[in-house]
Amino acid sequence: MYQDQKLNTLRNWAAQLFAFRARMQKGDLVALPLKQQSAVAFGEVVGDNEYRPDLPAGASHARKVKWIRTDVPRTAIGTDLLYSLGAFLTVARIQRNNAEERIKALLAGKPDPGFDEEQVVSGGDELEDVDSALQDLERYARDLISKRISQRFKGPKFERLVKELLQAQGYVTARTTAGADGGVDIVAGREPMGFDEPRIAVQVKSGETPEDIKAVRELRGVLEAFNAQRGLFVSWGGFKSSVTNAKRQLFFQVRLWTADDVIDAVLENYDRLSDGTKSELPLKRIWTLVPSLEDD
């Protein structure tokens, strides 16, 4: 049927379909890296394979899943597991470095017990005869950057990082007084003196717990007190679904930054950050070939 496709591509497709239909079992854990936020959803397989012609083309094979958590921050997951989750394959079994027990610990609300990350991480996962080197290297690099920020920029240091990013984007900023900020950590206005619009009130959360809609609405409620037209809520741990569902209603008043948005801002403005920040977060630009499952 697919005469124009390379043999390796056909083998990859067949292996993933076979794994999805026959090797995946009820009770198995499923990890789904999310695209719209820096988090991973975890669930449990509760149904057999179904062929559903009513579903969109290319997604006709389905299995029922009971979702356990849909907001586990990537920063809470060990770098070695994130590397495995970065495989280009949609369906792959992850088992290296005691992966299953570590994920169960995360789902129970405990920290990732971790593993000796000095060990080689290039083998051990069952990838159905696919080259294990096929990884989303960009995602993996971002995860390393995320880990460094999470380790080195906690609390006030994270606020300073956000403040520098806003300054690099052309804002004049000031930090509010600790303990009497009314839910606002930074105020920002356009140059040359910060009086120009838009004037922004910024709340910054460096923890790994996703923020809910109540916290975002509280920021929106204090904008007038700071003579600000707009709000920016920066949550390193991301946001709960209640915030995501209200994102359109918040569009003209509050912007939401997750860890991925912070990293985007760092990469875009890195040359304009202070030497101190660069020493804490040393980055180097490189070029790399984009891998493809079709490569021989």
Per DSSP, 163 falls in state: H
Quickly state the pLDDT bin for 269 (edges 50, 70, 90). Answer: very high
Mean pLDDT of 161-178: 91
Contact 213, 244 (CB under 8 A): no
Q: What is the pLDDT of residues 62-103, one digit of tens each?
A: 999 999 998 888 888 888 888 888 776 788 888 888 889 999
How far apart, in Å, are the Cα atoms of 108 and each of 73, 101, 162, 283? 14, 11, 31, 34
* Residue 34 pLDDT exceeds 90: no
* Residue 262 pLDDT exceeds 50: yes
Sequence-ordered strand ranges (E) for the chain = 29-33, 39-45, 50-51, 61-62, 65-73, 171-175, 186-190, 196-205, 230-235, 254-257
Q: Which of 15-24, 67-76, 125-134 has the lowest mean pLDDT?
A: 125-134
C-alpha torsion 194→198→204→208, nearest 10: -140
Q: Select, from the ranges 92-101, 158-167, 284-293, the one with the highest average predicted confidence (pLDDT).
A: 158-167
Mean pLDDT of 154-179: 90
* Residue 121 pLDDT exceeds 70: no
Q: Output 28-34 pairs: Cβ under 8 A, ≥24 positions apart.
A: 29/100, 29/103, 29/104, 30/65, 31/85, 31/94, 31/103, 33/74, 33/85, 33/86, 33/139, 34/70
Per DSSP, 90 falls in state: S
Average pLDDT, the chain: 86
CB-count burial class (<10 Å; 0-12, 13-18, 19+) for 202: buried
Share of the chain above pLDDT 90, in %: 47
Q: What is the pLDDT of residues 170-201, one digit of tens each?
A: 999 998 876 555 689 999 999 788 888 899 99
* Residue 132 pLDDT exceeds 80: no
Mean pLDDT of 213-230: 92
- CA 262/CA 239 separation, integer angstroms: 14
* Residue 126 pLDDT exceeds 80: no
Quote the pLDDT of residue 182.
67
Quote the pLDDT of residue 276.
95
Quickly state the pLDDT bin for 130 (edges 50, 70, 90). Answer: very low
Q: In the numeric block, which tokens belong to residue 49? A: 């394979």
Q: In the numeric block, which tokens belong to residue 249? A: 């209603």
* Residue 133 pLDDT exceeds 90: no
Quote the pLDDT of residue 125.
52
Q: In 152-162, which positions are buried (b, 16+ CB within 10 angstroms) versus exposed (e)? A: ebeeeebbbbb
